[in-house]
Chains A and B, each alone.
Chain A
Amino acid sequence: MLVLTRKSGEKITIGDDVVVKVLEIRGSQVKIGIEAPRGVAVHRSEIYDRIQEENLLAAGVEATDFEAAEELWTPRKNMKEETQ
């Protein structure tokens, strides 16, 4: 891993079109600004774990639960207005 030391306000350029800027350092927190083209995915890494975990949960559907879920869905058409 490349390790760089930067001060507040300084930047790092990755490739041709990604710029990472240290905006603010306060205690143990660093605020970072990222400029990247539309289409380049930039995420806090935790979000991938969350989606992965959700995929794992979604993969184990029981047939009986599925049928019940389908029944629960049907009345939704009338409740859209109530819940929003």
Chain B
Amino acid sequence: MDPEEKHEGRDTVKIETARFGIVEVPNEKIIAMPHGLLGFQDKKRFCIFQHKEGSPFFWYQSLDDPALAFVITNPWLFKPDYHVDPASAVNAMGWEGEPDRLPLECHVIVTIPRGMPEKMTANLIGPIVLHTERREAVQIVLPDDTTYSHKYPLAKQAAA
């Protein structure tokens, strides 16, 4: 059973996802991750879906594994002073150009523990850096002297 089907000539990839049913992703929306994600090195193609208008959450859906999707968000929504040096992403991906001038986006992965949504956290140490023109992305690991957490709480008010 191969849930994935490539439509020659139509320039889309069609998959039957666990969460969204059958979706058809145009080629230009596909994000290539040649290194995969840590722990998922063999999953190399993703796409981003907005969950719904106004939601802080987006889905980072694997196109190689229909059951695999991560919740991602924009780190600056909750941590305006967040800073990522793009150099290691640029180096790992061999992107040409001055790192600080490339059209890069940064997303962080959200962990929502089963049955404990109030304990949701964002991983600020392992952001995904996306080159929006090349549609290529890489998960980088921030330097060891970073003060950020890999479990930054997103719902502090729930604990109070």
Measured CB to CB, the residues of A under 8 A from B are 38-44, 47-48, 50-63, 65-66, 68-70, 72-73, 75-76, 79-80, 82-83
Contacts and interface: CB of A to CB of B under 8 A. Distances in A.
B57 A51 contact: no
Given A47-B144, A52-B38, A65-B114, A76 B157 contact: yes
Contacts, number: 123
Interface in B42-87: 51, 55-57, 68-71, 78, 85, 87
Grouping DSSP codes into helix (H, G, I), strand (E, B) and loop, the A interface class, with mixed when no group exceeds half, is helix
B117 A72 contact: yes
Given A57-B111, A66-B57, A51 B141 contact: yes
Contact of B125 (A47, A75, A79): A47
A10 to B, nearest CB: 23
Q: How large is the interface on B (under 10, 10 to 19, 20 to 34, 35 or more residues)?
A: 35 or more
Contacts of A80: 78
Nearest to B116: A65
